[in-house]
C-alpha cells in the first residue's frame, strides 16, 4: 500500500476554478490523503505545472509536453514502471483549467504511456475517472478538526508538518433577528397578545471542521467539529397581554433559515451548513392587562470544543456549559398569568463526500418563564414596597438554557440516529413583588386578600375605595372556558 497526500486549495470566487469559498473570500485548505494498492500511484500535475509547455486532454488520452529535456527525462524514468505490468496504473490529477476545458480537478487513470523523445511529450492512454471510483481508502480533513486524544480513536490527527497549509472554516453566528411586533388574538375569548423582540439575536462565529476516514469504501471515522469564538445569544422579549381565560395559548414562529456558505471540492466534497432561528411562547391562564418583559444572555467560552461522532454516534465536548445571565421580570400593571418564552438557534451541518453523506445539528435553546400572581392587602402586599400599594403582583421567574445535538441520516428521512444532550441548565431566580393601585391610608391594617378575593383577617378593609374592591371582585368572577386552536388543555 502507498499513501499520497494532496493539498487542495479552495481559493476565492474565480469562475475558472469553480470552487466555492468562505464569505470573507479567504482561501480554505483541505487535506486529502489517499491509500492505493502497490500497483497504483498518484501524481498531481499541479505540482510540476511550471515544467510543462502544454497539456492536451480527452476522455481517453493525455499528452503532456515538457519545456526541457531534463524534465522530460526525469518523468520518463519515473513513469516507465507503468508499462512493465498490465495492471500497473498511474492516477494523474489534472489541475483546474490544465486541460483547457476542465473547471475543476479531474483524475485520469493511465495504463500505458508512450514517450516521444523528439517532442519531449509523454502520451498516456487514460480513462477519465470519478474520485469515488478510483480511491477506496482515504482521509479527508477540512477546516479545524478535533484534537487527537488517546481514548478516542475517531479523532482526526493534525498533520503538524503542514502547518503552512492550515486554514479555518469560519461560520458567522452574528445575526440580529429584527423581529417586528406581532399581534395575536382569539375570536372565542376576550384575549389579545402583542409580542416584540427587538433585543434578540446571536453574535460571534464558529470554526467548523469535517473529517472522514474510509477503508475499502467503508467509513471508519466521520466527525464534525465546532469551536466557538465570541458566541452569545440574547433573548429580550416584551409581551403585552390582555384577557380573561383559564386555558393556555401557544405559538411557534420560524424566524429565518440562513445558508451560511457552501464549501465545495467538485467531485470530492460538498459541505453545506445553515442556521435556523425560531421563537415560541405559551401563555395562560390570563386575567388582566399588562406588559411583561425580561431578558436572558447566553454565552459560550472560546476554549470550548465540540466533536460530533457521526458513526457511533456520540458527542465529545469540553467547556460547552453555557454562561447564563437573567434579568428581572418587569410588569407594569395588575395581572395574573403564566408566561413561557423560548428561542432556538439551530446549526445544521451536512456533508457529501465520495458517495458518503452525513448530517448533524446543534441547537441552543434559551428559555424564560414567569408565574404572575395578584394579591390584595389593606396593609400593602409587597414587603419591599415603601409606598404600601394595595395590590401587588408576585413574580416567580424561571430561566434556563439547553444545548442539544442531533445526528441524522443524510437524506433527512426517518427518525434521527441519535439525540444527545450537551448541557441543560436552569437558573434559580429570586421571587419579586411589584406593587400597584391605591396606597394604604393606614399601614397598621393587617387585613389581606389573596387572588381568590377572600379576606384573610380584619374586615375594616372598607377604608379602601369602593372602586378598587369592585374591580378586584369583577376580575375574579368573569372567567371563560373555551377550546380553540393553538391551546393545550
Q: How many domains does the chain have?
A: 2
Same domain, 234 and 130: no
In a domain, 377, yes or no: yes
Same domain, 181 and 74: no
Is the Cβ–Cβ distance between 322 and 300 less than 8 Å? yes
Same domain, 431 and 340: yes
Domain span at residue 128?
Answer: 37-135
What lies within 8 Å, CB to CB, of 252 at 6+ separation is 278, 279, 280
pLDDT of residue 229: 94
Name the helix (H) or strand (E) containing 84: none
What lies within 8 Å, CB to CB, of 284 at 6+ separation is 245, 246, 247, 248, 249, 337, 338, 487
Is the Cβ–Cβ distance between 310 and 316 less than 8 Å? no
Indicate the burial class of 489 (C-beta count within 10 angstroms; 0-12, 13-18, 19 or more). Answer: exposed
* C-alpha dihedral (330, 332, 334, 335), degrees to nearest 10: -50
- Neighbour count for residue 185 (Cβ, 10 Å): 14
Cell (9 digits) for 14: 474565480
3 state DSSP class of 301? coil
Same domain, 113 and 180: no
User: Which residue in this structure is represented by grid cell 485548505?
Assistant: 29
Angle at 78 between CA 75 and CA 81, to 5 degrees: 125
Conformational region of residue 437, where left means phi above 0, alpha means psi within -120 to 50, and beta covers everything else: left
How far is Cα 115 from Cα 78, in angstroms, rounded to an integer?
12
Same domain, 124 and 182: no
How far is Cα 326 from Cα 324, in angstroms, rounded to an integer?
7
How far is Cα 377 from Cα 385, in angstroms, rounded to an integer?
12
Indicate the residue among 416, 436, 456 that finishes a domain. 436
Same domain, 101 and 182: no
pLDDT of residue 28: 58
3 state DSSP class of 399? strand
In a domain, 464, yes or no: no
pLDDT of residue 261: 63
Q: What is the DSSP letter of 246?
A: S
What backbone torsions phi and psi does residue 472 show, to the nearest 5 degrees? -65, -40
Q: What is the pTM of this model?
A: 0.73
In a domain, 42, yes or no: yes
Same domain, 312 and 390: yes
Task: Quote the distance between the C-alpha of residue 279 and its chain's center.
Answer: 15
In a domain, 160, yes or no: no
Same domain, 280 and 333: yes
3 state DSSP class of 436? strand
In a domain, 26, yes or no: no
How far is Cα 420 from Cα 405, in angstroms, rounded to an integer?
5
User: Which residue in this structure is represented by grid cell 490544465?
Assistant: 98
pLDDT of residue 107: 92
- Neighbour count for residue 160 (Cβ, 10 Å): 7
Q: What share of the chain is helix, strand, coil (3-state, %, to 5)?
A: 10, 55, 35
How far is Cα 414 from Cα 314, in angstroms, rounded to an integer?
18
In a domain, 167, yes or no: no
Residue from 423, 425, 424, 420 nearest 405 by CA: 420
In a domain, 282, yes or no: yes
Number of helices (H), then strands (E), belonging to the chain: the values are: 3, 30
Same domain, 186 and 67: no
How far is Cα 410 from Cα 327, in angstroms, rounded to an integer?
40
Task: Quote the distance between the C-alpha of residue 349 and its chain's center.
Answer: 7
How far is Cα 377 from Cα 383, in angstroms, rounded to an integer?
11
Same domain, 98 and 237: no
pLDDT of residue 399: 93
What lies within 8 Å, CB to CB, of 463 at 6+ separation is 378, 441, 442, 445
Give me the average pLDDT of each 10-residue run along the chain (489 residues). Answer: 44 26 48 83 89 95 95 94 93 91 91 95 94 86 58 35 52 85 80 87 92 90 93 92 86 83 76 88 89 93 92 89 91 88 91 88 92 86 84 90 88 75 87 86 48 38 37 39 40
Cell (9 digits) for 463: 377604608
Task: Quote the distance between the C-alpha of residue 310 and its chain's center.
Answer: 16
In a domain, 142, yes or no: no
Indicate the residue among 414, 436, 458 that finishes a domain. 436
What is the total residue count of the chain?
Answer: 489
Same domain, 187 and 110: no
pLDDT of residue 414: 62
Residue from 329, 429, 435, 332 nearest 374 by CA: 435
pLDDT of residue 22: 35
The dihedral through the CA atoms of 300, 303, 304, 308 has a sign that is positive
Is the Cβ–Cβ distance between 178 and 277 less than 8 Å? no
pLDDT of residue 413: 65
Alpha helices in 220-274 (DSSP H): none
Same domain, 108 and 182: no
Amino acid at each position: 500500500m502507498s499513501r499520497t497526500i494532496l493539498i487542495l486549495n479552495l481559493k476565492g470566487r474565480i469562475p475558472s476554478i469553480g470552487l466555492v469559498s468562505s464569505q470573507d473570500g479567504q482561501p480554505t485548505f483541505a487535506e486529502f490523503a489517499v491509500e492505493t494498492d502497490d500497483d497504483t500511484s498518484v501524481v498531481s500535475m499541479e505540482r510540476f505545472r511550471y515544467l510543462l509547455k502544454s497539456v492536451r486532454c480527452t476522455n481517453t488520452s493525455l499528452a503532456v509536453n515538457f519545456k526541457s529535456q531534463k524534465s522530460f527525462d526525469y518523468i520518463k524514468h519515473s513513469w516507465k514502471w507503468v508499462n512493465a505490468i498490465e495492471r500497473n496504473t498511474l492516477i494523474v490529477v489534472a489541475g483546474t483549467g490544465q486541460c483547457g476545458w476542465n473547471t475543476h480537478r479531474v483524475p485520469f487513470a493511465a495504463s500505458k504511456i508512450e514517450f516521444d523523445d523528439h517532442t519531449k511529450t509523454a502520451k498516456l492512454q487514460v480513462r477519465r475517472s470519478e474520485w469515488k471510483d478510483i480511491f477506496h481508502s482515504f482521509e479527508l480533513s477540512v477546516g479545524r478538526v478535533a484534537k487527537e486524544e488517546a481514548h478516542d480513536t475517531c479523532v482526526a490527527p493534525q498533520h503538524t508538518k503542514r502547518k503552512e497549509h492550515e486554514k479555518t472554516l469560519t461560520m458567522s453566528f452574528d445575526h440580529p433577528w429584527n423581529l417586528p411586533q406581532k399581534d395575536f388574538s382569539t375570536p372565542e375569548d376576550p384575549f389579545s397578545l402583542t409580542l416584540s423582540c427587538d433585543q434578540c439575536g446571536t453574535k460571534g462565529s464558529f470554526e467548523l471542521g469535517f473529517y472522514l476516514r474510509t477503508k475499502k469504501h467503508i467509513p471508519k471515522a466521520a466527525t464534525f467539529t465546532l469551536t466557538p469564538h465570541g458566541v452569545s445569544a440574547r433573548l429580550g422579549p416584551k409581551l403585552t397581554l390582555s384577557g380573561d381565560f383559564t386555558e393556555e395559548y401557544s405559538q411557534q414562529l420560524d424566524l429565518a433559515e440562513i445558508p451560511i456558505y457552501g464549501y465545495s471540492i467538485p467531485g470530492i466534497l460538498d459541505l453545506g451548513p445553515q442556521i435556523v432561528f425560531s421563537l415560541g411562547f405559551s401563555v395562560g391562564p390570563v386575567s388582566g392587562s399588562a406588559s411583561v418583559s425580561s431578558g436572558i444572555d447566553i454565552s459560550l467560552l472560546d476554549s470550548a470544543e465540540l466533536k460530533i461522532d457521526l458513526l457511533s454516534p456520540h458527542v465529545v465536548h469540553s467547556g460547552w456549559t453555557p454562561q447564563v445571565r437573567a434579568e428581572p421580570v418587569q410588569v407594569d400593571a395588575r395581572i395574573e398569568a403564566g408566561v413561557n418564552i423560548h428561542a432556538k438557534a439551530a446549526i445544521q451541518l451536512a456533508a457529501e463526500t465520495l458517495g458518503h453523506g452525513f448530517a448533524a445539528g446543534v441547537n441552543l435553546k434559551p428559555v424564560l418563564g414567569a408565574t404572575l400572581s395578584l394579591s390584595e392587602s389593606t396593609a400593602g402586599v409587597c414587603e419591599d414596597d415603601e409606598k404600601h400599594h394595595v395590590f401587588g403582583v408576585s413574580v416567580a421567574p424561571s430561566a434556563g438554557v439547553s444545548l442539544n445535538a442531533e445526528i441524522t441520516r443524510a437524506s433527512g428521512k426517518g427518525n434521527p440516529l441519535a439525540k444527545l444532550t450537551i448541557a441543560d441548565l436552569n437558573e434559580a431566580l429570586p421571587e419579586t413583588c411589584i406593587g400597584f393601585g391605591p396606597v394604604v391610608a393606614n399601614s397598621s391594617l393587617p387585613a389581606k386578600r389573596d387572588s381568590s378575593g377572600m379576606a384573610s383577617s380584619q374586615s375594616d378593609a372598607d377604608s379602601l375605595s369602593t372602586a378598587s374592591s369592585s374591580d378586584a371582585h369583577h376580575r375574579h368572577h368573569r372567567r371563560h372556558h373555551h377550546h380553540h386552536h393553538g391551546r393545550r388543555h
